[in-house]
């Protein structure tokens, strides 16, 4: 499982605060060694402690299927995970 945390670090005080967290987990359903299927959960603010996949309190969910995991770096998977959880961001206004 991949955990993406977004933190705000103060340049003045050095204090930091977690603003968001997203979990990306391979669901094990792919029969291919080179492609994976992933479930995505964006955690609710204030509920960032991990107590198991089913216990994650989410604001958004998504899915990435047939991702070529051996061909690209992790940031492309994260980009696809974000797009799947926030599909409205792909629209042009």
What local confidence, expressed as pLDDT, does residue 93 receive?
61
Rounded to whole angstroms, the Cα distance separating 47 from 6 reads: 14
Predicted TM-score (pTM) of the model is 0.88
Strand partners, 40: 24, 62
Rounded to whole angstroms, the Cα distance separating 18 from 41 reads: 16
Domain that residue 85 falls in: 2-90
Q: How many domains is the chain built from?
A: 1
- The answer, yes or no, to whether residue 91 has pLDDT greater than 80, is no
What local confidence, expressed as pLDDT, does residue 18 receive?
93
| Tens of pLDDT, residues 34-71 | 999 999 999 998 888 888 888 899 999 999 999 999 99
What local confidence, expressed as pLDDT, does residue 92 receive?
67
């Amino acid at each position: 499982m991949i955990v993406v945390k977004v933190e705000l670090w103060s340049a003045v005080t050095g204090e930091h605060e977690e603003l968001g967290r997203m979990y990306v987990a391979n669901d094990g359903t792919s029969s291919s060694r080179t492609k994976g299927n992933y479930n995505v959960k964006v955690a609710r603010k204030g509920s960032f402690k991990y107590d198991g996949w089913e216990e994650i309190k989410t604001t958004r969910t998504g899915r990435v299927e047939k991702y070529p995991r051996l061909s690209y770096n992790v940031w492309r998977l994260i980009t696809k995970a974000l797009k799947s959880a926030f599909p409205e961001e792909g629209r042009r206004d």
